[in-house]
Amino acid sequence: MEFRILATDGRARAGELITDHGVVPTPTITLNYTRALEKWGFKPEDITTARDVILLRNTFWMREAGATDVREGVDWPGPVMADSGGFQMVSLGRHVRQTLRGIGLAVKGKQSFITPREVVEWGRGANVDLIMPLDNTVYTMDKNPLKFVWSAIMTAVWFKRSRGIADDKLYYIVQGGLNKLARQISLWDARRQLRGKILTANGGTPQNAVAAVAIGGLAWDEPRSAMYKMVEFCVSRLPDDKPRHLLGVCKPIDILECIERGIDSFDGIAATREGRHGRVWLWGGQYFDINNARYATDKTGLDSQCNCPVCRSGVSRADIRARFKAGDREVMRQLMAHNWHQNYRLISTARQAILEGRFQELKTSWRG
Ligand SMILES: [Zn+2]
């Protein structure tokens, strides 16, 4: 993977991620192809026809299902990022055992164990373009500061074991929640790894620089302002020449705030998940719930400012609502596609604004 910065506007950057499966203009947002989408029988092309974005899949579940190629079951010619699923591990709570060796999981009587090395080895073998290693994350609002320090150390130890397999595709995940000491530890290690030339313990071969960096452990019930401050804290301590990903963040206002702070890529499931539940995103940052009775007679389209296929087709809110209430799967797909398109359009518009030096203007207009 290579990264090129084409323009900056304040700390916001417009660039290109060059992968083996195509060039992605940045800032960018991934299309998270989740287990929920798979379970509902949706394919990536049901959500978008865009191909200059990254598809995101989950290493842990794919590996569990015996997949040997990250494009298994999907027709996706573009780049794919694989997340190790550390985040899901936390939500599985007591079923998970995390040690310095890796993560053990016991669900419905089935035991499995995954090591940091296996995550990257699977990624390389399965033709993944951008690999998120195994990381240790803690619920952001946890009251015990030691947990954050431990998570930064554990992530560093796991990362050391992830090296030397696919360094040119590998992200370093900075952990530590809102705890500055933990973040400092993680950022210190991240800088060494991104710079490369680290001697191994036995004085062996110097290692290559790692390709990119991600910030994890945020967007988990903390106040938005605290998240933005921590993004700023991290970005100011990271090298400028590497791409920066923000894990699990994809609400439009967060995207704009974090692009402004120097983030190049985002992922998250909010657009599709909220669409599936009938929450419609509007250009400018407003939302409405299609379940609300006031839309039963509303003959306008979802969003007059949206040019997605659903809005262009002229279908009315009233019609969408009636079909949504009846459990129509196609309308569920349309709502997911519309929401995702809002993000795609936002990120493309933001990129253009950075290239033209008027990012602030866009951000102000969005807040209206
Ligand atoms: Zn639309």
* Ligand 1 centroid to residue 76 C-alpha, Å: 23
* Ligand 1 centroid to residue 194 C-alpha, Å: 39
Q: Is 254 helix (H, G, I), strand (E, B) or coil?
A: helix
Check if CATH label 3.30.420.40 holds for domain 29-86+117-275.
no
* Ligand 1 centroid to residue 304 C-alpha, Å: 8
Global pTM value: 0.94
Tens of pLDDT, residues 169-191 = 999 999 999 999 999 999 999 99
* Ligand 1 centroid to residue 271 C-alpha, Å: 12
Provide the pLDDT for residue 67. 95
CA distance 34 to 13: 28
Q: Where are the domains of the chain?
A: 29-86+117-275, 278-339
Max Cα–Cα distance, the chain, nearest Å: 73
Tens of pLDDT, residues 225-276 = 999 999 999 999 999 999 999 999 999 999 999 999 999 999 989 999 999 9
Q: Is the pLDDT of residue 199 over 70?
A: no
* Ligand 1 centroid to residue 213 C-alpha, Å: 32
Tens of pLDDT, residues 7-24 = 999 999 999 999 999 999
Token reading at 358: 């008027």
* Ligand 1 centroid to residue 351 C-alpha, Å: 20
Average pLDDT, the chain: 93
Q: Is 145 helix (H, G, I), strand (E, B) or coil?
A: helix
CA distance 352 to 7: 10
The string of DSSP letters for 159-183 reads HHHHTTSSGGGBEEEE--TT-HHHH
Provide the pLDDT for residue 322. 98
* Ligand 1 centroid to residue 286 C-alpha, Å: 13
User: Nearest 5°: phi and psi at 90?
Assistant: -65, -40
